[in-house]
Amino acid sequence: MKSAHIRALIVLAIFTLLGIVGTQVVWLNRAIEQQDQVFNHNVQTALRNVVESLCEANGKDFPTVNPIEQVAGNYFIVRTNDRIDLANLEYLISAEIKKRSISQDFEYGVYDCANDKMVYADNVDLKGERRADVIPVLEDEEYYFGVYFPDKSKTLFSGFDLWKFTTLITLVVIVFFGYALFVILRQKRLSEVQKDFINNVSHELKTPLSTLSLASSTLGSRGAEKDAKYVKIIQSEVARLQQNVEDILHSSLLDSRVTFTKEAIEVMEFIGDLVDNFKSEYSSQMIEWSVEGNSEKIIQSNKKLLENIFRNLVDNAIKYGGKEISFKVVQSPKKTTISVSDNGVGIDEKYHKKVFSRFFRIPEIHNQHNQKGFGLGLQIVQSAVKKLHGKIALSSTPNVGSTFTITLPNG
């Protein structure tokens, strides 16, 4: 993965996570505010009904000024300006609060306005358990009472099970994102180390291989008959090693950001020259070659990449039993299609998508590969086609043959 793509992924993920967290915070604040408003409204309505009941019991009119004042978020003052029926006060408050589905415990106290002292106080557990002793009652005083909900904040948060669940999911996502980021960056570093290693090893191997090739050519030129067999073996093995090194270098080069220059190519002429070279190179293999089609348009492409593509396809076809290899060219105003067909062993359909993967080799009986190689040929082909902004498709049937179809833009 390219560094730019990784940076874009990280930025996108960070903004996404910030968006999720921000949305949760906004939603939570609004939900708490709404629940707080509903709670305050219900408590004030309940206390208003308590005042009405007290006034009715005392034969007094309901106060013209709103008697209820919310001193704090969980503390309410109720002015009655008249005697308070202490025997019924707790019952009235509890009954009205329960009517509005408020299950919070509360504390209440009755105050003497003249002396500014609390003359009665109690803690009420709505489950029926008292939590404090009753303070002695003083009568014949002017009273107002206060109601306090000590667990209001805790109770407001207790109803947000969905928010707790989504918060947990968010934390899991953040942990997963951190781990995924660590893995991506680690894999990127390993990939860069691997590429550097491949490039270094390949270049280091090329020098001794060139020396071996030169030495074998020198030995062969002497004409010593007894050495000819061994010279031929050396040359064959050197050629195979050189091809493997070239495959590794090409694979590494195609994965890099190197751009390839384009040039004008007359397709039929290019394919014809290429097939002539193949005929000479594989003269001992008894291969039947054919070229058909026509090309009226000259395309803009890269000869070196195209030669590499078709050389790998031909080499694969011959390795796996192809004795008849045909090229077919079809052109349209915007694209050129070149097909390479053979009558080799073919490829099972379940491997069609995998054959273009790096190092993949079709498993044979007992996992024994009769043909040597690194499994880079078709991966190089696909990478080269992508560099040319083209597409490649495979059609193959076991024991019948394979056809690789390459579509390239004309421009």
Q: Where are the domains of the chain?
A: 3-158, 182-255, 263-409
Confidence of residue 118 (pLDDT cuts 50, 70, 90): low
Residue 101, Cβ neighbours under 10 Å: how many?
7
The answer on pLDDT for 244 being more than 70 is no
Amino acid at 141: E
Q: Residue 365 in 3-state DSSP? A: helix
Q: What pLDDT does 138 receive?
A: 37
The answer on pLDDT for 60 being more than 70 is yes
Q: What pLDDT does 139 receive?
A: 44
Name the phi and psi angles at 240, rounded to 5: -65, -45
Alpha helices in 59-136 (DSSP H): 86-99
Average pLDDT over residues 315-338: 91
Average pLDDT over residues 302-312: 89
Are the C-beta atoms of residues 369 and 315 closer than 8 Å to each other? no
Are the C-beta atoms of residues 365 and 329 closer than 8 Å to each other? no
The residue with greater pLDDT, 163 or 159, is 163
Q: What pLDDT does 104 receive?
A: 78
Q: Which of 378, 320, 377, 317 is nearest to 352 (CA)?
A: 378
The residue with greater pLDDT, 86 or 295, is 295
Q: What pLDDT does 370 receive?
A: 52
Helix pair angle (3-58, 161-221), 10° resolution: 180
Average pLDDT over residues 7-33: 80
Q: Enter the pTM of the model.
A: 0.48
Confidence of residue 402 (pLDDT cuts 50, 70, 90): very high
Pick the CATH number of 263-409 from 3.30.565.10, 3.40.50.300, 2.30.40.10, 3.40.50.720: 3.30.565.10
